[in-house]
């Protein structure tokens, strides 16, 4: 137990200095999960809120610390959805590191069912949805962990670069030049910096996406469609305008230059795409939670 708390304390300090990597940023996860929560039935909201009360104090502290909030602040579902990133450096949870993304060969042209068998993002969604549904077989804290993982995975699978290639670490090694932003690589840019310009706060994002909720296509949140969700992201990163890779006549997506300059209008074009990805993530999460809680 003493070793666990030492590891937990160390991980919290490292999170303050470590750059984003394979993780839709805090704001993205908070937006997806808050939007989903707001559109759950009252019955599902009550069940979810009850699960939030089972979080041990050390994990409450970890979530608040990760989100730069005061110790003892009440944990919302929006903030709990960042827990999967907050525990990355806690030894007990390191096994989940590869569950945040999915790598495929550069010759693949689409994501097919069971394209990965274990320890990858689509399988993570299937696994934790099943655990969340098995209420009688586990403690409230175990069920809460499944809930937090599931909320997090739905955000990650809709960030396009979480379905990509290992050779450049999903765009983490694609350096950006001539940008007035702290995000120095393409993956980090998509995780965080693209979210902020023009819509700087969670409230503004929620207002924008809530206004679009009724007009957006209906989604039942059937997790059997998880491979389709992954393929949506994969097709986005394969597009030439995404500036991630170049597709040859055989369909192989060759690694981009190690340094790229995003063209004028990239932010405006793809911020609209990301809006729809966040909206889809929230709609699908709402459906998954209604069926699972």
User: Under a CB-based contact definition with an 8 Å cutoff, are residues 206 and 34 in contact?
Assistant: yes
The CATH number that applies at residue 12 is 1.10.575.10
- Residue 5 is predicted with a pLDDT of 35
* Mean per-residue pLDDT over the chain, rounded: 89
pLDDT tops 90 at residue 280: yes
Map tokens 């300059």 to a residue: 261
- Residue 180 is predicted with a pLDDT of 66
pLDDT tops 60 at residue 182: yes
- Residue 210 is predicted with a pLDDT of 95
pLDDT in tens, 159-177: 999 999 999 999 999 999 8
pLDDT tops 80 at residue 252: yes
Instruction: Kindly report which listed range (1-5, 21-25, 202-206, 241-245) carries the lowest average pLDDT score.
Output: 1-5
Measured distance CA(248)–CA(223) in Å, rounded: 32
Q: 145 pLDDT band (50/70/90 cuts)?
A: very high
Percent of the chain with pLDDT over 70: 90
- Residue 200 is predicted with a pLDDT of 65
Range of the domain at 173: 2-292
What average pLDDT does this structure show over 135-155? Answer: 92
pLDDT tops 80 at residue 97: yes
- Residue 19 is predicted with a pLDDT of 39
Instruction: Kindly report which listed range (18-22, 156-160, 277-281) carries the lowest average pLDDT score.
Output: 18-22
Residues facing residue 245 across a β-bridge:
255
Measured distance CA(15)–CA(148) in Å, rounded: 19
Instruction: Kindly report which listed range (100-104, 179-183, 221-225) carries the lowest average pLDDT score.
Output: 179-183
Q: How many residues does the chain have?
A: 293
Output the furthest CA–CA distance in the chain (Å, rounded). Answer: 57
Q: 96 pLDDT band (50/70/90 cuts)?
A: very high
Say what the alpha-carbon torsion angle 82, 84, 86, 88 is, to the nearest 10 degrees. -150
Percent of the chain with pLDDT over 90: 75
DSSP for 152-196?
A: HHHHHHTSGGGEE-TTTGGGTT-EE-S-SSS--BHHHIIIIIHHH
| Among 280, 164, 287, 148, CA closest to 223 | 287
- Residue 136 is predicted with a pLDDT of 73
Instruction: Kindly report which listed range (15-24, 92-101, 127-136, 232-241) carries the lowest average pLDDT score.
Output: 15-24
pLDDT tops 50 at residue 205: yes
pLDDT tops 60 at residue 21: no
Residue with the larger pLDDT of the pair 181 and 177: 177
Residue with the larger pLDDT of the pair 115 and 16: 115
- Residue 24 is predicted with a pLDDT of 78
Q: Please give the tally of structural domains in the chain.
A: 1
What average pLDDT does this structure show over 73-99? Answer: 96
């Amino acid at each position: 137990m003493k070793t666990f708390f030492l590891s937990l304390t160390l991980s919290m300090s490292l999170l303050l200095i470590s750059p984003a990597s394979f993780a839709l940023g805090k704001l993205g996860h908070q937006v997806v999960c808050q939007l989903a929560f707001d559109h759950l039935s009252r019955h599902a909201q009550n069940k979810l809120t009850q699960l939030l009360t089972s979080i041990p104090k050390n994990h409450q502290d970890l979530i608040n610390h990760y989100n730069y909030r005061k110790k003892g602040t009440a944990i919302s579902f929006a903030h709990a959805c960042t827990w999967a990133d907050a525990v990355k450096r806690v030894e007990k949870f390191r096994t989940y590191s590869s569950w945040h993304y999915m790598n495929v060969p550069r010759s693949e042209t689409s994501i097919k069912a069971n394209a990965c068998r274990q320890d990858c993002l689509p399988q993570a969604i299937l696994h934790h949805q099943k655990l969340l549904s098995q209420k009688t077989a586990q403690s409230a804290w175990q069920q809460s962990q499944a809930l937090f993982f599931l909320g997090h995975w739905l955000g990650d699978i809709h960030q396009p670069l979480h379905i990509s290639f290992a050779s450049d670490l999903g765009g983490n090694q694609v350096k950006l030049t001539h940008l007035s932003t702290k995000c120095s690589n393409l993956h980090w840019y998509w995780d965080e910096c693209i979210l902020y310009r023009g819509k700087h706060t969670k409230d503004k994002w929620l207002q924008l996406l809530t206004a679009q909720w009724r007009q957006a296509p209906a989604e039942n949140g059937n997790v059997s469609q998880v491979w389709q969700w992954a393929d949506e992201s994969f097709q986005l990163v394969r597009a030439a305008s995404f500036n991630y890779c170049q597709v040859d006549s055989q369909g192989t997506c060759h690694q981009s230059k190690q340094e790229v300059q995003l063209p004028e209008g990239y932010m405006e074009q793809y911020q609209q795409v990301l809006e729809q990805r966040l909206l889809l993530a929230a709609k699908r999460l709402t459906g998954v939670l209604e069926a699972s809680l």
